[in-house]
Structure 1
Amino acid sequence: MDWEERIRAARETGLRGLLLALRSLGVGLPLVIATVISIALVPLGVGFWLTPRALGAVRRFADEQRERGRSWSGVRVDRPYHGPVRGLRPLGQAATWRDLLWLVLNIPIGTALGLVPVALTAWSALGLVIAPVAVAGGAEGEFWRVAVGIGLVTLATLVILAPAILELHALFSAALLSPARRDLEERVDRLEEIRADALDASAAELRRIEKDLHDGAQARIAALGMTIGLAEQLVRSDPAKAEALLAEARDTSGQALADLRRLVRGIHPPVLAERGLVEAVRALAVVLPVPTTVDADAGVRAAAPIEAALYFAVAEALANVAKHSGAGRAWVTVRAPGGCLVVEVGDDGMGGADAPSEGGLAGVRRRLGTFDGRLVVASPRGGPTVLTMEVPCGS
């Protein structure tokens, strides 16, 4: 880095330091107070509403620091969270308490480190701009002459140490805001389980497709060939019989084509590819025998594999509603809070559903697990039943 770049970096560091100090004190302190009050009010009930909002604000402020560390100092800090902020669940995550510890410590540390380049910039301006003007204007006193020397020293310090000051703060933040080693080990174990489940699910899906082809389209096409061959033999000796066989062959070809179309829709429905998850879910709701409403955030989209996984998960859940719930109505909500896609499928039926180790809901859990997602089943006896599916789709 040449001196011109160092001086430019020093100037940027002064402005960034001021921003860091103002954010650390002006935002960090109110957040600490709001979070403490919110948690303290949980026993009174109002904290159940306030705490998720306070913790969500803390998480956004921590994400802001992660982005600052990356863009200002090149220090990358991964997000350690598991799902969006919902209810009091984040209080059971170690990452939330590390965020809160960072928030408290960052008030003095962030403010101090942010003010260092501001103070160096101020002394440099005093010594190299104001002092010479004052001396040239006839100001007397040893202070102004000493100020010039101080200005030179502080400018050199600012230019040489400018990148290190903010990097020090980024490293301090990374120590608390990064995923803990235990979290990383658990995530590696989880990813290994997900990989094994994905391989099993892929093999099962291939077997299903093979069985559907064998029992459906393949059998019909084989019958079609035999019918056409028989018609070919009868075309001269019994034209009427041959004509009837060709008509039968035409019907069989249509049935085979319908089988293939059903198979393709089972792999990836065209409406999902063309119009997205929300419209595909609406198409499912229209044909369900139970009246079903669909409520979604505007413009909700995700990567195609994630949308496909959620679509088939919703399809399985709605099929269960129609078969087993005895419900009079059902509903589906699609939300996209902070880097996650959250889909809820509910009904007012008899309740008592669970997610066993085998069966449809177990398949849903494995399908979502491929994308580090999760399925939560809430189904007390007497209902209602609510299935919540969460899949990360952001950073």
Structure 2
Amino acid sequence: MTWVRKRFRASVGALEHVVGGLGTAVLALGTLFWLVIVAILSLVGIGLPAAHDALRALRSVADRERGRLTRWGPPVLEPGPVPAGLKATIKDPFVHRELVWLPLHAVGGFLLGVFGLTIPLYALQDITFPLYYRLLPPDAAPGIVWWRTESMPDALLVALLGLGWVVVAILAGPMFARIQAASGRWLLSPPPGIDLSMRVAELTATRAAALDAHAVELRRIERSLHDGTQNRLVAVNVLLGAARRALQRDPVLADEILGRAQDAAEQALAELRTVVRGILPPVLDDRGLSGALDGLAANCAVPCRVEVDVQSRCAASVEATAYFVVAESLTNVVKHSGATGVTVSVRRERDRLHVDIEDDGRGGADEGQGSGLAGIRRRVEALDGRLTLTSPPGGPTRMLVELPCGL
């Protein structure tokens, strides 16, 4: 049963991958036609002014494909905008590789996308055929059915064929996705020699983000200790001094002051525990990531469904980051989204931990509005992870976080 569930989840993910590839293939097809027209017009000199814009459009489409491939596997580094000027753009090694990739993805990616999408549609059409076959003439059977469908047994044979399409989709869907992505992973990656320098630049930026996140965390801990625990301890010290002075002349008053000092000490301990949990939640050690997220969902004011498919433990820093991402996201959902439900899905695929948080709220989430999203991004990027936020006005809001967790 576990194998079937994993294969089904992999086929659903592959279908999403193929549909996304079909979208970029349509863009690539349009860009290919534009480039061909510009190239033909450039032979007579009137297409040259549009050549640079056409190559910029090519870079935009290629970057969309790079982003799609990064969301579904190892990251593909983006080279940035094309150089200024047509001559510099033509000499750009990234442009050379993108020009080779464009027709391959425009044609091959489009055909694979259509074929990969058609199989599930065939399966749905054939499986549900017994429900509507009476509305069609006997010679109007769907798909590749060659027999007349005049009775329920004939329709059930069509449904059996639909189950066969389901098996094909489950087994072949991931293969279609890999083939469709192959040209992009081969040609859209940086050329040899450039990959290393880009990676060094990315790691430099990541290290700076990690240092910033560390500094922010230290300031948060200092502020929590200064504004909360330290003030409580000062109050305890003052109350103990007052009780000591009142002990001889008014024992009843001294007892009352000692009670207030005890209450203040208990509050200080509670605030100190809160600060400690903010550094590394002990619930992760006690119950693991799945149990810790179940606890967050149980305490969330908005109905929350949690799905965790992580067979082995990740590094403590990765689990802590995933925990804080979910905790801060649920806080944002309660405060800002107006949602009636939220879904948290966590799964591990090879060396990556994927956290998917989606709510049905009003959308419009913006990192610049102080909703904690910038802090989440800093935490994720400090571990060399990636965060993708989709929140159109009207919703839904979906946050995809990918964290490296080793093999």
Partner residue in 1 for 2:239: 227
| Deviation at residue 52 of structure 1 after TM alignment | 7.1
Q: Is the 8 A contact 1:40 1:47 kept in 2?
A: no
Where does structure 1 differ by over 6 angstroms across 4 or more consecutive aligned residues? 47-52
Report sequence identity in percent.
45
| Deviation at residue 299 of structure 1 after TM alignment | 2.1
Q: Give 5+ residue unaligned stretches, structure 2.
A: 1-106, 121-168
| Deviation at residue 337 of structure 1 after TM alignment | 1.8
SS at match of 1:180: coil
Query: What letter matches 1:272 in structure 2?
Result: L
| Deviation at residue 353 of structure 1 after TM alignment | 1.5
SS at match of 2:398: strand
| Deviation at residue 370 of structure 1 after TM alignment | 1.6
Distance (Å, rounded) in 2 between the aligned partners of 1:245 and 1:37? 81
Deviations 1:243-294 (Å, cap 9, x if unpaired)?
Answer: 1000111111110110101111111111112222221111111101001000
1:251 to 248, 253, 263: 263
Partner residue in 2 for 1:275: 287
1:326 to 327, 338, 348: 338
Distance (Å, rounded) in 2 between the aligned partners of 1:309 and 1:48? 39
Distance (Å, rounded) in 1 between the aligned partners of 2:399 and 2:256? 52
The 5 Å alignment of 1:108-147 reads none
Q: Is 1:218–2:230 an aligned residue pair?
A: yes
Partner residue in 2 for 1:385: 397
| Deviation at residue 54 of structure 1 after TM alignment | 2.4
- Distance change >3 Å, CA 52–CA 308, structure 1 → 2: farther
Distance (Å, rounded) in 2 between the aligned partners of 1:189 and 1:346? 32
- Distance change >3 Å, CA 338–CA 47, structure 1 → 2: farther
Q: Is 1:263–2:275 an aligned residue pair?
A: yes
- Distance change >3 Å, CA 98–CA 92, structure 1 → 2: closer
Deviations 1:54-83 (Å, cap 9, x if unpaired)?
Answer: 26656xxxxxxxxxxxxxxxxxxxxxxxxx
Q: Is the 8 A contact 2:280 2:320 kept in 1?
A: yes
Q: Is 1:353–2:365 an aligned residue pair?
A: yes
2:213 to 184, 201, 205: 201
TM-score (norm 1): 0.58
Distance (Å, rounded) in 2 between the aligned partners of 1:197 and 1:48? 44
Partner residue in 2 for 1:165: none
Partner residue in 2 for 1:363: 375
Q: Is the 8 A contact 2:363 2:394 kept in 1?
A: yes
Q: Is 1:41–2:112 an aligned residue pair?
A: yes
Distance (Å, rounded) in 2 between the aligned partners of 1:312 and 1:47? 40
SS at match of 1:368: helix
CA RMSD of aligned residues (A): 3.0
Partner residue in 2 for 1:102: none
Q: Give 5+ residue unaligned stretches, structure 1.
A: 1-35, 59-87, 100-177
| Deviation at residue 383 of structure 1 after TM alignment | 1.4
Partner residue in 2 for 1:85: none
Q: Is the 8 A contact 1:194 1:366 kept in 2?
A: no
| Deviation at residue 385 of structure 1 after TM alignment | 1.1
SS at match of 2:349: coil
Q: Is the 8 A contact 2:213 2:382 kept in 1?
A: no
Query: What letter matches 1:41 in structure 2?
Result: L
| Deviation at residue 97 of structure 1 after TM alignment | 3.9
Distance (Å, rounded) in 2 between the aligned partners of 1:357 and 1:52? 40
Deviations 1:142-174 (Å, cap 9, x if unpaired)?
Answer: xxxxxxxxxxxxxxxxxxxxxxxxxxxxxxxxx
| Deviation at residue 223 of structure 1 after TM alignment | 0.8
Distance (Å, rounded) in 1 between the aligned partners of 2:183 and 2:353? 21
Q: Is the 8 A contact 2:332 2:371 kept in 1?
A: no
Q: Is the 8 A contact 1:38 1:54 kept in 2?
A: no
The 5 Å alignment of 1:178-189 reads 180-189=192-201
Q: Which has the higher Rg, Structure 1 or Structure 2? A: 1
- Distance change >3 Å, CA 209–CA 47, structure 1 → 2: farther
- Distance change >3 Å, CA 321–CA 96, structure 1 → 2: farther
SS at match of 1:276: helix
- Distance change >3 Å, CA 323–CA 92, structure 1 → 2: farther
| Deviation at residue 48 of structure 1 after TM alignment | 10
Deviations 1:159-212 (Å, cap 9, x if unpaired)?
Answer: xxxxxxxxxxxxxxxxxxx98332222211111111111111111111111111
Q: Is the 8 A contact 2:309 2:347 kept in 1?
A: yes
- Distance change >3 Å, CA 392–CA 179, structure 1 → 2: farther
Query: What letter matches 1:53 in structure 2?
Result: P
Query: What letter matches 1:336 in structure 2?
Result: R
